[in-house]
A and B are shown apart, each in its own frame.
Chain A
Amino acid sequence: MVNMLERPPVRAVSETKAVGQRTAARLTLPTLLTLTAIVTIVPFAAMVMVAFAPPSGRTFPDALNPANFTLDNFSRVLSSSDIPRWTVNSLLYSLVSVVCVLLFASMAGYAFAKKKFPGREIMFWAFLATLMVPFQATLIPSYILVSRFDWVDSYWGLIVPTLANSQAVFLMRQFIMQLPDELFEAAEIDGASEWRIFTTIVVPLIRPVLATLGIFVFLWHWNDFLWPLVIGQSGNMQTLTVGLATLQTQAVPINQVMAGATITVVPSLLVFGLLQRYLTDSIAMSGLKA
């Protein structure tokens, strides 16, 4: 009781103090947050402004004046470089990979999760073990292998080796394992073929994982640099990332480089704008890394 009587004044003091602190915090933290966000955005904003700035003269302060905005840099970089061809290469590299990885990884994930076959455990652990080996460590043997197939400077060499995606198989297996066995057993009793069970029961059930994984595989390939750099040796086989890197080592004016950069970032931004929630939620849940 004594405690109860003593408490109110103490609480009142700490409460007014807390209210004061809270209003201060209410202003400080959002301000800090906004400033950090602005600093994060500035490089993108600068890229776009320089891309639209007049080719002659200094980038500053000319780039800041909207009256000077021009599309010259875009038309020049499009006509002087191979950006359309690089875009086609990047799209092929990314989209073909997405389709193949999703198909093969979901098939393998289904087998690892729901089928019994000799060597299953060993195979699965071998898949997992290679995740430990950085891609760069096997760059040379991969290149020699591709050159033995005579695939250097071809779409085959660019795409096929990157389809062996252990992470995708692992993710698929984890997800399919959670699906109840009864779903498949009922269909088997009804006499459905294995392929039919896969396409009509498994695939619809794993649609959310397919969507998430699809986004990641797209970004992995769209942003990939080292493998396309090594494999796409002629100008015709370069992807946008490799093309952009070569563009800025040549004597191309900075405005045009930035125009090219702006073009390469559009698909990533589209994916991001449409699927941001999917992307951020799945990283928080599974730790997927693009």
Chain B
Amino acid sequence: MPDTGRAGPVSGRRRSIRRPWVGLLFVAPMLVLFLVFRFLPVVGAFLLSLTDYRLSGKWDFIALDNYTRLLSDSVFHQALLVTVTYTVIFVPLTVLLSLGTAVLLHQVVWKRGFFRGVFFLPYVTSIVLAAVIWKWIYDAQDGLLNAVLGLVNIGPIDFLSQSGTVLPSIAVTSAWKGFGYSMLILLAGLQAVPKSYLEAAMIDGAGTWQRFRYVTLPQLRPVLFFVLVIETIGAFQVFDAMYVMTGGGPVRSSYSLVYFLYDSGFKYFDFGYASAIGLVLFLIVLIVSLVQRRLVGRDD
């Protein structure tokens, strides 16, 4: 051991410089876990995507074949289209819902803690639970929504069996489950807007909407961007709700990228191909984050 006790007080910082193994020992358990189960799979995903790795463990190097195959695979095109469509529906829906509830909570002091709790409640449950409940809500024969619509003589509509309604229905489910998180972030952002700005605008004669539009919203911009990016990245990874509610149907109208990855890997055991899909997903997420960096700049 390098620390041969020299007499006299030594500062902790200097001692730790002379004994680098102490820091390393403290990092060691997490470092090993990280290297084996996080870092290795990232490298592995890239390497696997260049092979035709099969269930038996045999593989050949096939360079970019998996990627060229993706380009001409109509199932991949469909999965990409479904994922983008879902994102386009889900992100505005969830951002408006969380912004709306955050503004309401910010304006109304009455029982704020209680209402905040209610809106946050679905967030602590699993998306599987949300999917199970909403699958029944949408049910054509026995579902709650059609029972309500029946009262005004609409329907019954088989929401999850029509290609036009299936993605919005799933997006509503995910938004219900998750909006509480973004709502809290936005509420914190609203509470951070300096009161003096709003008072100054009020003295200048700005109405409620004008104050919101020209004072609150610009102040909220960084927080809003954060929420937008988090929700977009989340939307691109959609899988659980589709797996439970529709199984990707009808006729792949709710078949997302991750669903395609899951099937390629665990239904067809085409591990190399599935890894290539994973890398495409990673690239999309990366681009979304980089675009956000560009747009928000150093506010991050």
Q: How far is the CB of B91 from chain A (nearest CB, A)?
A: 16
Q: Per-residue CB proximity of A186-220 to B under 8 Å, as 1/0?
A: 00110000100010000000000000000000010
Q: What DSSP secondary structure best describes chain B's contact surface?
A: helix
Q: Which residues of A contact B61 (CB under 8 A)?
A: none
Q: Which of B53, B118, B132, B266 has the most CB of A within 10 A?
A: B132
Judge whether B279 and A166 touch: CB under 8 Å. no
Judge whether B12 and A184 touch: CB under 8 Å. yes
Return the chain B residue nearest A162 by Cβ.
B37
Judge whether B33 and A32 touch: CB under 8 Å. no
Q: What DSSP secondary structure best describes chain A's contact surface?
A: helix
Q: Per-residue CB proximity of B1-29 to A under 8 Å, as 1/0?
A: 00000000111110111001111111101
Q: Which residues of B contact A37 (CB under 8 A)?
A: 115, 118-119
Interface presence of B214 (CB below 8 A): no
Judge whether A280 and B120 touch: CB under 8 Å. yes
Segment touching B, from A1-9, A67-75, A76-84, A263-271: A263-271
Return the chain B residue nearest A41 by Cβ.
B118
Q: How far, in angstroms, from A86 to B271 measured CA to CA in the complex?
A: 28
Q: From A130, A143, A169, A257, give the contact of B30 (CB < 8 A).
A: A169
Interface presence of A96 (CB below 8 A): no
Q: Which residues of B contact A169 (CB under 8 A)?
A: 30
Interface presence of B71 (CB below 8 A): no
Q: How far is the CB of B199 from chain A (nearest CB, A)?
A: 14
Judge whether A127 and B34 touch: CB under 8 Å. yes
Q: From B21, B40, B244, B285, give the contact of A141 (CB < 8 A).
A: B40
Q: How far, in angstroms, from A194 to B19 measured CA to CA in the complex?
A: 11
Q: How far is the CB of B13 from chain A (nearest CB, A)?
A: 7
Q: How far is the CB of B61 from chain A (nearest CB, A)?
A: 16
Q: How far is the CB of B42 from chain A (nearest CB, A)?
A: 5
Judge whether B133 and A43 touch: CB under 8 Å. yes
Segment touching A, from B73-81, B105-113, B154-162, B163-171: B105-113
Q: How far, in angstroms, from A126 to B43 measured CA to CA in the complex?
A: 13
Interface presence of A137 (CB below 8 A): yes
Interface presence of A225 (CB below 8 A): yes
Judge whether B104 and A29 touch: CB under 8 Å. yes
Q: Which residues of B contact A264 (CB under 8 A)?
A: 126, 129
A145 touching B41 in the complex, CB below 8 Å, given contacts A37-B118, A181-B13? yes
Judge whether B37 and A283 touch: CB under 8 Å. no
Q: How far, in angstroms, from A5 to B162 measured CA to CA in the complex?
A: 68
Q: Which residues of A contact B45 (CB under 8 A)?
A: 137-138, 140-141
A258 touching B136 in the complex, CB below 8 Å, given contacts A46-B144, A290-B123? yes
Provide 19 A-B residue pairs closer than 8 Å at the C-beta atoms, listed in order of the A residue: A29-B104, A29-B107, A33-B108, A43-B137, A123-B27, A134-B281, A138-B278, A139-B261, A139-B274, A140-B278, A142-B37, A181-B13, A198-B26, A219-B124, A248-B132, A269-B124, A272-B124, A276-B117, A283-B181
Kindly list the 6 A-B residue pairs having the minimum CB-CB distance in the complex, ordered from nearest: A115-B23, A141-B44, A117-B23, A223-B126, A111-B26, A284-B188
Known: A115-B16, A141-B41, A268-B124. 9 other contacts (CB 8 A): A42-B144, A60-B147, A130-B34, A219-B124, A223-B126, A225-B126, A225-B240, A280-B116, A284-B185
